Amino acid sequence: MKDKVFFASGAAAFVSLALLNLPVQPVYAQGEDDVLEEIIVTSRYRAEKLSDVPDSITAFTAADIERHQIDRVNRVASLTPNLRFSDDQEVGVSTLVIRGIRQNRGTGQPPVSFRIDGVSATNNLLTTQELFDVESVDVLRGPQGALYGRNAIGGAILIATRQPTVTPEYGLRFRAAEGQDYTLEGSASGPISDTVLYRASFRVQDREGQLRNSYLNNEYVDYKDSTAFRGKLLFTPSDKLTIDLRGQYLDQDGGSGYFMPGSDFFLPLPPPNPPIIVDVPEYEIQSNKLGKSFVKASEVSAKIDYDLGWATLTSITSFTDVDSGNDQDLDQTFVEAIDILVIDESETFAQELRLVSPDDRALRWVAGVSYFDQDRFRSLGTTFLGNVVPPAAQDLELANFAVFGNLSYDITDDLELTLALRWDEETPRDLTQGRSNAFTELQPKASIAYSFSEGMLGYVTIGKGFRAGGFNNLAPGSNFQPGFDKESLISYESGVKFNAYGGKLRGALSLFFIDYDDQQYFLFDQTGTQANINVKKSEIMGGELELTAQPTDSFLLNFGFGFTDSEIVEYEDIPGVLVPASEIIGKNVPGAPVVSASLAMQHTASLGSGMDLVSRADFEHRGKTYWTLDNLDTQSAYNLTNLSMALEKERWSARLYVNNVFDEEYIEWFFAARFIGLPADIAWPSKPRQAGVEFTLRY
């Protein structure tokens, strides 16, 4: 292990020294047309240049969000090295993998802290929500628990929506695409009084779909209806006090369970009566039931900032209510073999208090406490060959209390030391099984950053990450264990950030090594049980390279590259897992492409009278992906291409676009029958090519 750590840190140091030969200069502010926009982030609860923060961060500005058409986290992931996001069962359900650290489904937890306007998404079903009226998105890689709390074992995704404005402004966007896919977005903002501002925004989508079920008269299965609304009130009763009230409502209805069989069936099934004659290619969507699912969520929050002079006191209070359901055929045959019905309801209260010191001093600090309380009920009922199986039901109470702090000190003008610490106690109580447990963890983090010259920063970081254990949602007859243990990791990272060529080039390189204990891994079986297990010991190493260049005032390039190399070092046979340990030890950690790369090219041509023609081409390469712990099932490497062309003026824009231009077919996610006991492997299909048009008005 030490050799790998030394390799990662040594390689980054070598590259840092090599980059010293670049003509580094600071990035200039936006407004100088021939240089890159300066990006400001608040990942340490204070405004800082992206190039000055000793963390691996992919940042998207408002302009990036507009032209990359970022409207969900899956689009963010396609542009971010070592981040993968897939929709793979129903609305609300997804699998997110960052640096090889996976999503836990069911009542499990994501591997990142997902925050919108500082408010944590307290339910894993909320990571699939649409992103609209958004100002910025920042993806932080590496453990971020010290500042961003529970589940930040792999990083944090920070989303900032547009704020209320002093001057009235309005926006409207309409999008129409293949699949009878129509979207309407709107926003309004302005003053109510001298001390009160408002902002309101909405998004409505109606999609018939593009994927068909061969057994249901080619009926569309990927349909979706979605409505979302967000409202904000910003009170500034004095120069010292700011009160930000926020409310949001989300209602999603859509298809569910349109998996494809990924192998030949091995479970003998009786023929239907009367017989059904079908002529279907072997691996197509072919279940005998149209799946349906929904997610309804409402959230209210209050963020209060008060300037004490020596620090800013911030209070964030939120309450979230989420209801979801799913009715689907899971066996992918024309027989009523395995159907499931899921009900998932939760109510969550969260409170955070923190103090942040002023920026203009050598010693800068953050200190705070947080509390999280959730009641969640989840039931998964199964019908097997016409027989109703008692449901796997779980009434779960979850409480988390944490104390955290972060300190940065300028040892010299060029050398900064950062120390962070978080202590967590998370207590799940399974009222159904009559079980309770408490998981505690101390998460330290330390980094040292050195400015070799203006525009060149190198850093080394060591941090610990943690995700609590819990209780599995067991059904009668399941062999899985009733609970799973906490997981923890130590991440070693070295990196360098640089700006060069008079502000025309910005880059960042990071190399990391992760020493992983008891990694949690999600599985399910035909009884309806959804379970997490622990893989005793894993190691993951890899890196990211990001470059942004503007060689001319009309041409912009973005390049991203990520890779991982992993190994399951220790694993013991686990009840419920049908594959023996001997076939798992030594294999790669599954879930993320071994290599990922993206290239975006944008050209802007002035047409006069304030009108621009903006042409974009986005290429994405996803390398080989291992789906299972024994690495027998894989997705081969594939490439995706998106094209767009837009006419843009100050008050309006019109865009033509084509996503997945070459109609590449691939598997989004995969479950192997030998792990889960289904009649066949099942695979989630990719989205086909989609062309569309978009109109935007601003005034």
H-state helical runs in 206-350: none
Structure tokens at 583: 């076939």
Q: Where are the domains of the chain?
A: 23-698
Structure tokens at 151: 């589940």
Per-residue pLDDT, 30:
40
Per-residue pLDDT, 434:
92
In angstroms, rounded to a whole number, what is the distance separating the alpha carbons of residues 393 and 560?
A: 43
Predicted structure pTM score:
0.92
From the list 248, 473, 249, the residue with the least C-alpha distance to 377 is 473
Cβ atoms within 10 A of the Cβ of 47, count?
A: 9
23-698 under CATH 3.55.40.20, yes or no = no
Per-residue pLDDT, 372:
94
Cβ atoms within 10 A of the Cβ of 519, count?
A: 24
In angstroms, rounded to a whole number, what is the distance separating the alpha carbons of residues 697 and 374?
A: 41
The sheet with strand 155-161 has its strands ordered as: 56-60, 134-141, 155-161, 112-116, 119-120
In this structure, what is the dihedral angle of CA atoms 413, 12, 420, 103, given to the nearest 10 degrees? 150
In this structure, what is the dihedral angle of CA atoms 246, 133, 186, 68, given to the nearest 10 degrees? -160
Residues of the chain with pLDDT under 70: 1-34, 107, 263-283
Per-residue pLDDT, 282:
53
569-607 per-residue burial string, b: 16 or more CB within 10 A, e: under 16: eebeebebbebebeebbebbbbbbbbbbbbebebebeee
Q: Three-state secondary structure along 446-499?
A: EEEEEEEECCEEEEEEEEEEEECCEECECCCCCCCCCEECCEEEEEEEEEEEEE
Q: Are 614 and 648 in contact (CB under 8 A)?
A: yes
In angstroms, rounded to a whole number, what is the distance separating the alpha carbons of residues 53 and 56?
A: 8
